[in-house]
C-alpha cells in the first residue's frame, strides 16, 4: 500500500495542471461532460449552482445558460482557479461544509468525482438532496481494489450504494487516473427534487 497523504495537499499540488489533465486524451475524463450533457438536456437555463468539490470550476465552461456559481473545495489552490471563473468560494471539507448550508438554498447541486474521497458518502448525499431546490447531479466512482490501494489519497468505492428516486442512474467509462493509468467506471446520478415545479 502507498503511504497516504491528505486530499488537500495532493489537490493543492495538482491544481495548476488539473484542467490540462482533464482535457488530455490519455485521461479520457468523461464525467464532467456527461454531467453537463444530462443537465443541458433537461433544459435548465438559469439559477444558482452549488458545485461541491468544484476543483477549478471547469463545470461552468459546459453548462448552457445563466448561472451563479458557488464552489466548495478542500483545496484553496483549486478554489483560486474557480474564483477566476467567477465562482464564490467556500474553503471547507465536504464533511463539515454541507451541514452548515440551508435546505433548498441552491437550485442545482453538483458533486462530481469527489465522493470517492469521502468515507461517509451517504450523509453527504442526504445533504446534497436537502440543499438542492430543483436538481442534484452527482457521480460515484467505481474505484478498483488496485486504485484504492495505490492512490496516494485515501479513497472509497461507493458505486454500489442504493440511491432512491434517481431519474437517471447509469455507468459510463469515467476517467483514467493520470498517476496510475487505471481506468475507472463512474455512476452518474440525476435527481429532480419533489418540491421543484
Ligand X SMILES: C[S@@+](CC[C@H](N)C(=O)[O-])C[C@H]1O[C@@H](n2cnc3c(N)ncnc32)[C@H](O)[C@@H]1O
Residues that bind ligand X (CB under 6 A): 7, 11, 22, 31-32, 53-55, 58, 73-75, 78, 93-95, 112-114, 117-118
Residue 129 or residue 186: which is nearer to ligand X going by CB? 186
Q: Which runs of E-coded beta strand occur in 19-144?
A: 46-52, 66-73, 88-91, 106-111, 132-142
Shortest distance, CB of residue 197 to ligand X, whole angstroms? 28
Residue 174 or residue 191: which is nearer to ligand X going by CB? 174
Shortest distance, CB of residue 43 to ligand X, whole angstroms? 22
Residue 117 or residue 128: which is nearer to ligand X going by CB? 117
Angle separating helix axes 7-14 and 76-84, nearest 10 degrees: 40
Residue 36 or residue 191: which is nearer to ligand X going by CB? 36
User: Residue 37: how many CA atoms within 13 Å on its side-chain side?
Assistant: 9
Shortest distance, CB of residue 146 to ligand X, whole angstroms? 18
Shortest distance, CB of residue 167 to ligand X, whole angstroms? 20
Q: Quick one: 33 exposed, middle or buried, by C-beta within 10 A (0-12, 13-18, 19+)? A: middle
Place of cell 491544481: 15
Residue 60 or residue 129: which is nearer to ligand X going by CB? 60
The rounded distance, in Å, linking the Cα atoms of 106 and 68 is 10
What size, in residues, is the chain? 197
Shortest distance, CB of residue 96 to ligand X, whole angstroms? 9
The rounded distance, in Å, linking the Cα atoms of 47 and 137 is 15
Amino acid at each position: 500500500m502507498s503511504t497516504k497523504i491528505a486530499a488537500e495537499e495532493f489537490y493543492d499540488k495538482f491544481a495548476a495542471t488539473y484542467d490540462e489533465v482533464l482535457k488530455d486524451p490519455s485521461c479520457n475524463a468523461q464525467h464532467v461532460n456527461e454531467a453537463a450533457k444530462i443537465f443541458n438536456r433537461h433544459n435548465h437555463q438559469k439559477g444558482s449552482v452549488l458545485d461541491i468539490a468544484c476543483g477549478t470550476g471547469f463545470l461552468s465552461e459546459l453548462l448552457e445558460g445563466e448561472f451563479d456559481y458557488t464552489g466548495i473545495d478542500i483545496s484553496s489552490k483549486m478554489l483560486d482557479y474557480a474564483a477566476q471563473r467567477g465562482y464564490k468560494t467556500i474553503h471547507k471539507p465536504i464533511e463539515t461544509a454541507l451541514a452548515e448550508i440551508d435546505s433548498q438554498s441552491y437550485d442545482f447541486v453538483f458533486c462530481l468525482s469527489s465522493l470517492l474521497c469521502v468515507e461517509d458518502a451517504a450523509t453527504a448525499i442526504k445533504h446534497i438532496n436537502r440543499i438542492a431546490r430543483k436538481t442534484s447531479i452527482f457521480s460515484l466512482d467505481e474505484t478498483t481494489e488496485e486504485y484504492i490501494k495505490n492512490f496516494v489519497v485515501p479513497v472509497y468505492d461507493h458505486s454500489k450504494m442504493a440511491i432512491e428516486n434517481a431519474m437517471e442512474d447509469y455507468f459510463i467509462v469515467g476517467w483514467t487516473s493520470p498517476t496510475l493509468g487505471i481506468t475507472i467506471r463512474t455512476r452518474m446520478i440525476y435527481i429532480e427534487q419533489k418540491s421543484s415545479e
